[in-house]
Amino acid sequence: MTLDRTDPEGEIAKAAEKYSNWGRWGDDDVLGTVNFLTEAKRREGAALVRRGVSFSLAQSFDMNGPQKGWRRRTNPVHTMLDTGTDAALGNQGFPHGIGGADDVIAMPLQCSTQWDGLGHIFDHGRAWNGRPAEKVVTSDGDLVTGIETLAAPIVGRGVLLDVGRVIGTDGELPDGFAITEEHLVATAEAHGVAVGRGDIVCVRTGQLARARRDGWGDYAGGPAPGLSFTSAGWLHRTEIAAIATDTWGFEVRPNEFDEAFQPLHQVAIPNMGLLIGEMWDLEALAADCAEDGVHEFFLTAPPLPVTGAVGSPVNPLAVK
């Protein structure tokens, strides 16, 4: 797929039409590509557990995160409501010496490891399945495809495509590197793993490892390796259920047009109905996969069922 870099509007329109899944699962569908994640696929994923070792694929949720306030996204603020000091001083008013601690957290739902819900991105005022955006997401939240609709189904076969190790230098791709279908296919072949219907694909670029080593810098919203706009055909054709990366924005930044903002999102979410994860920590899992040569695993990654939310924090667990 070649791109006219001067015409993002036209290229997005062509890709949106070509890779649309509108109506594929009926007019009332709220799951998009998660429909590919069937009961049989979950059994297939569960059967991959051999050693019983598990990996959290979540970054920390704390004030030391990458957010810098873009569009009011901040790092989590964690506050204690009751502490051990309160208990020791007898300030809690409980009988027979019992004490306790409580806390609260305030954060944007997409400030760290997270899923983009289907109500997160629109295309010319249309949400997933062609619905009018203003009828889907209002001040009351996402009334149709709220993230709570995905609370149960995201369990199945996970596949790691460690593009950073296979294609990159010293295990990392440079910022601005566009991951094409050819890179994805070559990585899968190098790993000896197939990617297909219902899989949850994790793409490691190595950018998170670099940010941890060198500092966050512009990790949140700045230049990054990521999926090329031209990979839309692969995303559609493979019929994967979901895809997640270790970067802030999933797709390559700067984007591949002279003037554009997240054009692959505009095709993948409202038109394809693809579930996208961002800022996943794939480092420990990738090291283990490199060591034992097995790049498939059981993966469970349910969002918090926040009613009407258009995204959600997640603590994905990979089990091998």
pLDDT in tens, 239-266: 999 999 999 999 999 999 999 999 999 9
Q: Would you say 227 and 179 are in contact if contact means Cβ atoms under 8 Å apart?
A: yes
The average pLDDT across 131-153 equals 98
Query: CATH 3.50.30.50: which residues of the chain?
Result: 8-70+109-319
Asked if residue 216 has pLDDT above 90, the reply is yes
CATH of domain 8-70+109-319: 3.50.30.50
Map tokens 């995160």 to a residue: 65
Helices and strands: H and E segment counts in the chain: 10, 15
| Residue 34 amino acid letter | V
| Residue 304 amino acid letter | L
Asked if residue 18 has pLDDT above 90, the reply is yes
Nearest to 110 by CA among 160, 72, 56: 72
- Return d(Cα 207, Cα 202) in angstroms, integer: 14
**Residue 33 three-state SS:** helix
The pLDDT value recorded for residue 235 is 98
Nearest to 225 by CA among 272, 310, 298, 168: 168
The pLDDT value recorded for residue 45 is 98
Asked if residue 1 has pLDDT above 80, the reply is no
Interstrand relation of 137-138 and 275-278 (parallel, antiparallel or unpaired): unpaired
The pLDDT value recorded for residue 276 is 98
Nearest to 319 by CA among 112, 155, 150, 204: 155
Asked if residue 2 has pLDDT above 90, the reply is no
- Return d(Cα 156, Cα 214) in angstroms, integer: 34
Peptide bond into 263 cis (omega under 30): no
